[in-house]
């Protein structure tokens, strides 16, 4: 995985109906993948960071809202990858 401390966690959802039909249902818990780069942000950022490293880019620039956890996740991921991060914050003055 790209980030130290990231985990792939699935949670089984047992129900009597599933048991009767011999079916299992598991949910991928993206909220538990990483403490900072959680949810699908890990998967979205992975390829951009990989490409930036391959191209010897200085960093990554991204856009996000003033209270966006996307900006925090990008900054953290870039720091872990040895890249600079640049953010353009959208919002009202």
E-strand stretches of the chain: 10-12, 26-28, 59-65, 84-90
Query: Which H helix or E strand runs over 40?
Result: none
User: Distance between terminal CA atoms of the chain?
Assistant: 38
Q: What does the buried/exposed string (b/e) look like for 20-30 if buried means 16 or more CB atoms within 10 Å of the residue's CB?
A: eeeeeeeeeee
The pLDDT of residue 50 is above 50 = yes
pLDDT digits (tens, 9 = 90+) for 20-33: 999 999 898 878 87
How would DSSP label each residue in 52-69?
Answer: HHHTT-SEEEEEEETT-H
Model pLDDT, residue 19:
87
When pLDDT is cut at 50, 70 and 90, the band that residue 2 belongs to is low
**Nearest alpha-carbon partner for 35 in 59, 6, 14, 8:** 6
Q: What is the pTM of this model?
A: 0.71
Q: What is the mean pLDDT of the chain?
A: 86
The pLDDT of residue 76 is above 50 = yes
Q: What is the mean pLDDT of the segment spanning 31-55? A: 86
> CA-to-CA distance for 13 and 81, rounded, in angstroms?
35
Model pLDDT, residue 1:
42
């Amino acid at each position: 995985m790209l980030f130290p401390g990231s985990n792939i966690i699935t949670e089984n959802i047992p129900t009597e109906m599933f048991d009767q039909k011999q079916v299992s249902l598991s949910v991928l818990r993206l909220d538990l993948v990483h403490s900072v780069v959680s949810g699908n942000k890990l998967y979205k950022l992975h390829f951009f960071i990989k490409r930036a490293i391959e191209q010897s880019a200085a960093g990554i620039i991204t856009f996000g809202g003033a209270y966006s956890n996307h900006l925090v996740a990008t900054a953290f991921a870039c720091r872990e990858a040895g890249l600079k991060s640049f953010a353009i914050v959208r919002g009202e003055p």
